Structure 1
């Protein structure tokens, strides 16, 4: 319980620090939000009235705490460009980006763990050497370029999907998941390679330790030692990596969305940055930060469940 409370406190402090950095970053930039909302032709009196209505004349810390607590209650502010609540603008886009990241994570887990076990089990064999070479190539390719290659090969040559033919989850759920498979694959490929390499190395290292040799001496076969003894210890750092990878996949989905013309958060984010629509940008960045921080907290808890010795002195 003490370990959990400590991690929870750390998560809350991190969230507050990130929120303060995000708020200050967009409030020290030059330019008047009231002028951006009204336009350059607005009279000084109207600009001043708008500033007062928006609370821009209040001290900076007062504005921060008002914004922060409103954010915690689901009020993300009003768009400068469209004069509509930010929550309404991003509500329909969040499920798309979040689903894309989770989809990529599931592909990573389903593919990397069996491959990692196989390469360790048949160390230095043909399968191991082949996968190692493929891993090195994939790790050198960034997700956006993988997306371009996947679009060309599977979309334009084999015609397994229609590039740019996004299907909304509100119209056809099956078509939605079918279209997201290839973008998710583009995000997952580098993480799959890294996870396979890490798990393989961990399994080989753990298999060389005394407890594994003791298990062999008791008559256990290779599968028995691998699955009953070695795998659990080898998976602990892998779980940490996968947790960080999940957070990175959700954030990295923004780049891949542009390659596959997916109308997720990326489209609103890039447009809002161009228009200096800071409430929208702040809301999206804070949303991503909360996802990353929350995932890292869950990873720490799972880490402790798998190995109760972790944090025992804390």
Structure 2
């Protein structure tokens, strides 16, 4: 309980620090939000009145705490460009990005765990060497370039899917999920390679320990030792890595959305950055930060449950 409480407090402090950095970053940039909202032809009187209405004349800390409290309550402000609440602007885009991240995570788990076990079981064999070389190649390729290759091979040559033929989840959930499979695969590929490499090394290390030899001496065969004893211990660091990778894959989905022309958070984010629509950019960045920090907190808690030795001083 003490360990969980300590991690929870650390999570809250981290969120506050990140929110302060985000708010500060967009407040020191040149430009007047009132002018961006009204246009360059607005009169000085109207600009001054708008600044007062927006609270821009208040001290920095007052504006920060007002923004932070509103963010916690689900009020992300009003878009400068569209003059509508930010929450409504991004609400229907969030499920797309989150679905991609979750699908990438599931693909990573389903592919990497069996491959990691196979490479460790047949260490230094032909299959192990082929997978290791493939891992090195995949890890050297940036996800966005993997997305381009996947689009070219599976979309243009094999015609398994139609590039740019995105279907919204509100229209057809089945086609929505099928289209997101290949973008999710592009996000997952580097994580698959890293997970396979990590699991292989962890399994080999655990297999060399004394308890493994004891298990063999009791009459267990290779599969029995591997699946009943070694795999459980070897998975502990892998679970931590996968937990952190989940948050990273949600963030990485934003980049891949551009490659596959998916109307997710990325389109609004890039447009808002170009238009200096800071409330939208702040909301998206803070949303991503919250996902990353909360997932890391949950991973720490799960890690403590799996291995009670963690946190014991």
TM-score (norm 2): 0.99
Task: Give me the whole-angstrom Cα distance separating, in 1, the residues matched to 2:225 and 2:51.
Answer: 68
Map of 2:111 onto structure 1: 111
Map of 1:282 onto structure 2: 282
SS for the counterpart of 2:166 is coil
- In structure 2, runs of 5+ residues without a counterpart are none
SS for the counterpart of 1:56 is coil
SS for the counterpart of 1:90 is helix
Q: Does 1:29 align with 2:29?
A: yes
Q: Does 1:9 align with 2:16?
A: no
Task: Give me the whole-angstrom Cα distance separating, in 1, the residues matched to 2:97 and 2:109.
Answer: 19
Map of 2:197 onto structure 1: 197
Q: Deviations over 1:44-98 (max 9, x none)?
A: 1100110010000110000000000000000000001111100000000000001
Task: Give me the whole-angstrom Cα distance separating, in 2, the residues matched to 1:226 and 1:312.
Answer: 28
Task: Give me the whole-angstrom Cα distance separating, in 1, the residues matched to 2:212 and 2:188.
Answer: 32
Task: Give me the whole-angstrom Cα distance separating, in 1, the residues matched to 2:245 and 2:4.
Answer: 22
Task: Give me the whole-angstrom Cα distance separating, in 2, the residues matched to 1:169 and 1:289.
Answer: 25
Task: Give me the whole-angstrom Cα distance separating, in 2, the residues matched to 1:236 and 1:10.
Answer: 22
Map of 2:229 onto structure 1: 229
Deviates more, 1:123-132 or 1:192-201: 123-132
Task: Give me the whole-angstrom Cα distance separating, in 2, the residues matched to 1:70 and 1:190.
Answer: 37
Map of 1:149 onto structure 2: 149
What is the Cα deviation at residue 220 of structure 1? 1.2
Report runs of 4+ in structure 1 exceeding 3 Å deviation.
none
Deviates more, 1:219-228 or 1:7-16: 219-228
What is the Cα deviation at residue 211 of structure 1? 1.1
Q: Does 1:173 align with 2:173?
A: yes
Map of 2:58 onto structure 1: 58
Map of 2:265 onto structure 1: 265
TM-score (norm 1): 0.99
Q: Deviations over 1:109-139 (max 9, x none)?
A: 0000011011111111121111111111111
Q: Deviations over 1:216-265 (max 9, x none)?
A: 11111111111111111111111111111111100011110000000000
Q: Deviations over 1:118-161 (max 9, x none)?
A: 11111111211111111111111111000000000000000000
Q: Does 1:90 align with 2:79?
A: no
SS for the counterpart of 1:229 is helix
What is the Cα deviation at residue 21 of structure 1? 0.1
Q: Does 1:124 align with 2:124?
A: yes
Aligned-pair Cα RMSD in Å: 0.6
SS for the counterpart of 1:202 is helix
Map of 1:298 onto structure 2: 298
SS for the counterpart of 1:276 is coil
SS for the counterpart of 2:272 is helix
